[in-house]
Amino acid sequence: MIKAHLRSGVTYGVLGALTGFLLSGCHAAHSHPDAWRLSSGGRGGLAVEVLGSIDRVTYFGRAKGPNLLHIEGLNRGPRDDGEYRFFGGLYTWTSPQYAWFSEAGEPQDWPPDPAMDIGPVLRTGGARNQFSTTGPVQRSGLQEIKTIGLVDGSTATFEFELRNRGPAPVSAGPWSLSASGRRNLIAVRMKEGTTVWGTEEDSKQKFDSILGKVNPKTGWALIKPKKARWKGGIKVYIEPPPGEAAEVAFCRKGYWMYRAIQPLSEREKAQLRESGEGPIAFYVQPGRGKEQTIIETELYGPIESLEPDRSTKTVETWRIFKARGRRTSILPRRGPHAGSRK
């Protein structure tokens, strides 16, 4: 199974590189020589890059500015044994995690199916201000189709579709993760009525130790990963109050990258809770000794029961803001509410 996946990876890599060359024009990639780059214009425009060989968004920021995504070790490539390797960037999995499958078809929560984690993906469509990628069919029968579009010089959209290519129904939802460095600031919207819980008994307590005060006017609160002092990783979930979008942001090299997903209904949030997930999640693993630092900001779409050849999708809004110190006042005061589910 792994060898077959690696052979398909060679095919995807060659075709993807050729397709990327034909559609990307002469724009040189910043994150990796083989990344596909899309730019909205001149020096002050917006740019995004995707490295299809590992299915990661590896650059987001000003066309001539800093990369707002934390990336590391892209040149190492995937592991030969199919095990997980942390590259950072922005990447996608499927939830719930406990419903993943091993090569033998047994349920597992780790490691992720390589087809889901690293693809590789083909660039399957494009236009002046957008492109799409399609991944291989995963062990679950699901296939990922993703479209990134540049709206203007500061805004992009990220559409994440899951389609069931298997012979039986599958319950799953879109899950996207963006990596941060330990010295980056993270912000999360936590208006009155927000619920927070952790996967372990002390997860919330540890998370609270790196969480700043909530701004009563805007609901934004700062997270400072460099204050994390524990061993191992923790995961916490954050559920916005009714009618509110899931909104997060992280600050890197003088800019904020803002991510938001449209509000989930109370039924959809309850389904996530029953599956052990939530609309927003943070995973924080401070590096100590040989342990790698991994900091992830995660957004979840609703879990749907997909009949064969049916799909579900979510749309994220990405925006860039020039930072003003550590203040979150530059971030939006209202999230995207259009298209919310009832």
Q: Where are the domains of the chain?
A: 2-322
Q: Given this model, what pLDDT does residue 73 score?
A: 95
* Percent residues over pLDDT 90 in the chain: 82
Is residue 337 very low, low, confident or very high in pLDDT (cuts 50, 70, 90)? low
Evaluate if residue 291 carries a pLDDT over 60.
yes
* Percent residues over pLDDT 70 in the chain: 90
Q: Average pLDDT over the chain, rounded to whole?
A: 90
Is residue 27 very low, low, confident or very high in pLDDT (cuts 50, 70, 90)? low
The architecture (CATH level 2) of 2-322 comes to: Distorted Sandwich (2.70)
Q: Given this model, what pLDDT does residue 288 score?
A: 77
92 contacts 71 by C-beta, under 8 angstroms: no
Evaluate if residue 333 carries a pLDDT over 70.
yes
Residue 327 neighbours by CB distance under 10 Å: 12
Is residue 5 very low, low, confident or very high in pLDDT (cuts 50, 70, 90)? very low
Average pLDDT over residues 282-295: 90
Q: Given this model, what pLDDT does residue 6 score?
A: 30
